[in-house]
Amino acid sequence: MAKPFMPRRPQCVCTLAVTFSVGCLAPGGWVHAEGLLDDATATLNTRNAFYQGNFKNSDASQNKRQEWAEGFILQGSSGFTPGVVGVAVEVVGKWGVRLDSGPGTAGSGLLPKTASGAPAEYGRLGGAVKFKGFHTLVKVGEQMPSTPVVRTNDARLLPQTYVGTTAVSDPVKWATLYGGHLDTFSNRDSTHQEKLHMHGSSIDGDYFEYLGSEFHLVDGRLQLAYWHAELKDIYAQDLYRFTYDQPMGNGMLRLDWGWYVSTEQGAAKAGHLDNRAGYTGLSWRQSGHTFLLGYQRLFGKDDFVGLQDSPTVMTNHVNNLFGYAHERSWQVRYDYDFAASGVPGLVASAKYIHGWDVQRSNALNGHEWERDFNMRYVVQSGRWRDLSVSVSLYSLRSTFQSSLDETRLTVGYPIKLF
């Protein structure tokens, strides 16, 4: 019998509960003055996900992965207290329920995988305290960052979360500064916190820190950015990024260029690291159509350096990373927004990426390709407004890693609690 769902209750979550309880018992004027409930919001996002992956290699340890699950993601936030520095609290809850799985088909990433298969349910509860003042927002606790050097992975049933402290500041209207210190993370198919580690390695770092700066010029159409990140005693990384949007007639031309430089850091517990990765994306958007051409190239003896399961902003990092040692890759992609044809809420995309010249211990001149098709529809009005349905078909063929065909079907519906 599966153990009942018993989420952990961090101190910041208890703070949230006490805050709301006191607010409910206090006189109405006091609550309004304090501001905690004035702008409070809470949403329960439900997500039903089906995953099927068929491996094509004859020597694959598992021929098929197939699971079906229901997920619930609770996100709530109080309003900020008045004053020079406002204080607010957040709560995030994650709960996944197994609908279909088995020992021979587990491991899709929807549910935790154990020796006996997937558990009947899993989840966790966390929270954070926020401070706002002097054009700066500081958050302490559980959170879902979205930066070029660390980004929450939300590609399965439940989102990945991190625990630590982050800050965002807008000292002037054309510049944004970022900083963060993260200690642990909870993966998308996990209930517990674990130390951060590098992609492809089990060696833990004590903590992860980053600093970032973005400058918005030419009416916001030109963006220059610099980021620095370190996983303690494992790696250090710098990112230089340039994006530019140029209106041309009824369309928009966009250039996205970036350059990652990664080396070992401190005690170098993962050994000497040498990786540089450059990418370029050129896209044209007009009347619902978007065409993109991408190119990506890696230099140095190592694969791309980054946190485990953290997506990047590289053009060709879609499902597969295309970030192996010396790899070069190109991409062609087409997106269409059917709102231009009178069907708002319906979008579709198709992409093809080809990579070659991979140099690894298990691949000399290795090559691979990926083909994706995605379609998503969001109901625009009526009782089921914001209900979403998405279908993804994904194929990967490789000379040095598992080849597979993958199908994903996801139905989501947000329930606004208040």
pLDDT digits (tens, 9 = 90+) for 370-412: 999 999 999 999 999 999 999 999 999 999 999 999 999 999 9
Q: What is the pLDDT of residue 80?
A: 96
167 pLDDT more than 80? yes
CA 10 to chain centre: 23
Residue 362 pLDDT class (50, 70, 90 cuts): confident
Over its C-alpha atoms, the chain yields an Rg (Å, rounded) of 23
Question: What is the average per-residue pLDDT within 215-240?
Answer: 98
Instruction: Express each pLDDT in 134-164 by its tens digit.
Output: 999 999 999 999 999 999 999 999 999 999 9
Percent of the chain topping pLDDT 70? 91
Q: Cα–Cα distance between 92 and 369 in angstroms, integer? A: 37
Q: Is residue 235 exposed (0-12), middle (13-18) or buried (19+ Cβ within 10 Å)?
A: buried
> Does the pLDDT value for residue 253 go beyond 50?
yes
Give CA–CA dist 125/327, Å, rounded. Answer: 40
Kindly give, in sequence order, each residue whose CB lies less than 8 Å from that of residue 242, ignoring residues fewer than 6 positions away.
223, 224, 225, 255, 256, 257, 258
pLDDT in tens, 289-344: 999 999 999 999 999 999 999 999 999 998 999 999 999 999 999 999 999 999 99
The pLDDT of residue 34: 61
Residue 17 has pLDDT above 90, yes or no: no
For 220, residues 6+ apart whose C-beta sits below 8 A from its C-beta are none
User: Given pLDDT bands bounded at 50, 70 and 90, which one contains residue 361?
Assistant: confident
Alpha-carbon distance of 241 to 148, in angstroms, equals 9
Mean pLDDT for 360-372 is 92
Supply the pLDDT for residue 259. 99
For 35-84, how does the pLDDT look when each residue is reduced to its tens digit (9 = 90+)?
A: 788 889 999 999 999 999 999 876 667 899 999 999 999 999 999 999 99
Mean pLDDT of 109-132: 92
At residue 59, the pLDDT reads 63
3-state secondary structure the chain: CCCCCCCCCCHHHHHHHHHHHHHHHCCHHHHHHHCCCCCCEEEEEEEEEEEEEEECCCCCCCCEEEEEEEEEEEEEECCCCCCCCEEEEEEEEEEEEEEECCCCCCCCCCCCCECCECCCEEEEEEEEEEEEECCEEEEEEEECCECCCCECCCCCCCCCEEEEEEEEEEEECCEEEEEEEEEEEECCCCCCCEEEEECCCCCEECCEEEEEEEEEECCCCEEEEEEEEEECCCEEEEEEEEEEEEEECCEEEEEEEEEEEEEECCCCCCCCCEEEEEEEEEEEEECCEEEEEEEEEEECCCCCCCECCCCCCCCCCCCCCCCCCCCEEEEEEEEEEHHHHCCCCEEEEEEEEEEEEEEECCEEEEEEEEEEEEEEEECCCCCCCCCEEEEEEEEEEECCCCCEEEEEEEEEEEEECC
For the chain, domains (ranges, CATH) are: 193-416 (2.40.160.10)
- Rounded-to-integer distance, Cα 319 and Cα 311, Å: 9
Q: How many other CB atoms are there within 10 angstroms of residue 177's CB atom? A: 16
71-107: per-residue pLDDT in tens? 999 999 999 999 999 999 999 999 999 999 998 899 9
Strands 208-217 and 204-205: unpaired
- For residue 22, the model assigns a pLDDT of 34
Whether the Cβ atoms of residue 64 and residue 52 lie closer than 8 Å to each other: yes
CB 316 within 8 A of CB 331: yes
Name the residue among 318, 407, 334 with its Cα closest to residue 368.
Answer: 318
For the cut 90, the answer to whether the pLDDT of residue 33 exceeds it is no
Beta partners for residue 6, in sequence order: none
Whole-angstrom distance, CA of residue 91 vs CA of residue 144: 12
> Alpha-carbon distance 182 to 178, whole Å?
13
Q: What is the pLDDT of residue 37?
A: 84
Taking a C-beta distance cutoff of 8 angstroms, is the pair 323, 303 a contact? yes
Measured from the Cβ of residue 353, the count of other Cβ atoms closer than 10 Å reads 24
pLDDT of residue 220: 94
Cα 161 from Cα 184, distance rounded (Å):
9
How far is it, in rounded angstroms, from Cα 152 to Cα 51? 20
The DSSP bridge partners found for residue 205 are: 196
- Which residue in 244, 256, 317, 304 sits closest to 282, CA to CA? 256
Confidence class of residue 363 from pLDDT cuts 50, 70 and 90? Answer: confident
- Give the contacts of 247 (CB within 8 A, at least 6 positions apart): 253
The gap between the terminal CA atoms of the chain, to the nearest Å, is: 35
pLDDT at 31 over 70: no
